[in-house]
Amino acid sequence: MKTFLTFIFVFGLIVLIHEFGHFILAKRGGILVREFSIGMGPKLFYHRHNGTTYTVRLLPVGGYVRMAGEGEDETDLSPGMPLSLELNDQGEVIKINPTKKVHLPNSIPVELISCDLVDELYIKGYENGDETKEKTYPVNHDATIIEEDGIETQIAPRDVQFQSASLSRRIMTNFAGPLNNFLLAIILFMIVAFMSGGTYTSDPSNTIGAVIENGAAHEVGVKPGDKIISVNEVKTPSYEDIVKNVSSNLGNSVPVVVENDKGEQRSLTLTPKKSDDDPNRGVIGVQMNTIFEPLSFMGKIKYGFTETANNSLMIFKALGDLITGFSLNKLGGPVMIFKMSESVSNSGIIAILSFTAMLSVNLGIMNLIPLPGLDGGKLALNAVEGVRGKPLSQEKEVMITMVGVVILVGLMVAVTWNDIHRFFIQ
C-alpha cells in the first residue's frame, strides 16, 4: 500500500502540474478549456465553473486538459437524431442533450435536421418530431452539450478554439506544461534543502558510503568507509569504475580488493546479484559515499535551481547515450516508476520529494522532444507556421499528429511490456 500511495503521489503530481500549465495559459489566452480532469477513466463526478468542466475520474493517475479545437471536441450530431433542447428567455438554446442517460426538465424534444455549433450557431429540427413544425433555434455562444458519459461541457465556437488564438499564445500554451515541470522540480529541490538543512554531495571516489544488508558486499564483510581498490583485477579509482566493472559480471564470481580506513588491504571474492532496477545488470549492494554540506538560506534557494540543472544535464546525457545505442532497457514507463517508488517509499519523505523532482525534470525534457503528439512536436509545428507565415492545413496537422501518436503508443506498449518482462517474469 505504501508503494502504491507513493506511486500515485509521484506520478499524479507531476502529470497534474504539467497539465495545469497548459490549463492556466490556455485560459489566459482566451482558449476555451472544455474539461480539466483529475485522474483517468470513468468519471466519478464533475462540476462546471467559468466555462470549464472539472472532473474527477476513477483511476487516480495523472489527468488531462481538453481544449476547444484540439481533436474531436463535439458529440457527433447527425440528421434524424432525437435531441432535447433547453432554451433561455430569449429563445436561445443553452443546453443540448443528445443522450437518453440524462433527462432535462422543461426541455423541447427535437428531431435534428442540421446544425452548426462552430460558426453559425444554430440547430434546425422538427419540434416534437412533427415534420410540419420545422424550426431553427439560435444557439447561445456559451451553450453546453451533454456528452455520452453524462458530462456537461461547453460547445466550442470558432473564436474560442485553440487555432483561433495568436501564434504566440499557442506557443506559450504548448510550452507551459514542460515549464511547470521544471518549476515543480525547482520548488521540490528547495523544499528538500530546507528540510535537510543542507545537501549531500556525492563523493566520486571509491570510498563506500553504505552497504546494503544481504547484498553481495555485505555477505563478504565489506563495511562503510572501505575503499574498493579493484574489481576482477581492474583498478577502480572511482565509484563509477566500480559500478561499470560490477554491472557486467552478473552471476559471476569476481575477485575484489578492499582497503579499510587503516590502509589494510584484503582480497575477497563476491558474486554480483541482479539489480532491482535492471535485471540484466549486476550489483553488489553498495552505495556511493556522500558528504553533507550545510547551506545558508540563499544557498537552499539556489540548490533548487542548480539541482534541476544538474538533473537536466544527466537526462540529456542519457538521451545521447540512447541515440548512440538504442535499447528498451534504457527506457522506463509506469511499471519502472512503480518499482522505483517501491524503493523510495521506505526511505522517507525527503527521498520521495527528490524522486518526484527528478521525474518532473525528466517529464519536462521528454515532452520537449520534437515528436508529433508531444508538446515538442506541437512547438515544432508552431515554428513551421512562424517560418511559413501560415499554419499547415488541419488535415496535414491531424495526419502528422496521428502518426506521432501511433509511434508513441507503440513505444509505450513496448516499454511497458519490456518492464513487466524484466521485473516480473525473468
Angle between the N-to-C axes of helices 2-28 and 167-196, in degrees from 0 to 180, rounded to the nearest 10? 140
The one catalytic residue in 19, 35, 111, 147 is 19
Tell me the pairing of strands 254-259 and 234-235.
unpaired
Q: With contact defined as beta carbons under 8 Å apart, do 341 and 10 qualify? A: yes
Q: Max CA-CA distance within the chain?
A: 103
From residue 62, alpha-carbon distances to 157, 368, 409 in Å are 28, 18, 17
What cell does 187 get? Answer: 520548488
Q: Please report which helix (H) or strand (E) contains residue 282, including its range.
A: strand 282-283
At 405, is the secondary structure helix, strand, or coil? helix
Which residues have a Cβ under 8 Å from the Cβ of 330 and sit 6 or more positions away? 318, 321, 322
Q: Could you tell me which of 380, 201, 231 has the C-alpha nearest to residue 303? A: 201
Q: CA 185, 191, 194, 200 torsion: positive or negative? A: negative
At 329, is the secondary structure helix, strand, or coil? helix
Angle between the N-to-C axes of helices 167-196 and 349-367, in degrees from 0 to 180, rounded to the nearest 10? 160
Residue 147 φ/ψ, nearest 5 degrees = -85, 175
Q: With contact defined as beta carbons under 8 Å apart, do 339 and 173 qualify? A: no
Residue with cell 429563445: 91
Decide if 74 is catalytic: no
The amino acid present at 330, given as its one-letter code, is K
Q: With contact defined as beta carbons under 8 Å apart, do 10 and 349 qualify? A: no
Residue with cell 544527466: 314
Q: With contact defined as beta carbons under 8 Å apart, do 355 and 10 qualify? A: yes
Instruction: Please identify every residue annotated as catalytic.
Output: 19
